[in-house]
Amino acid sequence: VVKIDVQGYEELAFRGMRGLLAGARPMTVLSEFWPHGMANAGGDPAAYLGLFRAAGFARGGMNEHRGGE
């Protein structure tokens, strides 16, 4: 199990773990998905989801939280 929660820098963290992702499967990746924070950090939320799909992962069990943005 891998947990990624780095306040908008998830795309960079995911890109940096390519070696780990190439390893043994099955693997579970839990990640925060905060489009506003990703954009503020210079990332692209759609590209992040694309990286997930390209690595063979699927979205699931996501909860949407609308807090004080």
pLDDT in tens, 3-62: 999 999 999 999 999 888 888 778 888 888 889 999 999 999 999 999 988 988 887 766
pLDDT of residue 62: 60
Burial class (CB in 10 A: 0-12, 13-18, 19+), 10: buried
Q: What is the mean pLDDT of residues 62-69?
A: 56
Q: What is the pTM of this model?
A: 0.75
46 Cβ contact list (under 8 Å, min separation 6): none
Nearest to 29 by CA among 60, 64, 65, 7: 60
Q: What radius of gyration do the chain's Cα atoms show?
A: 12
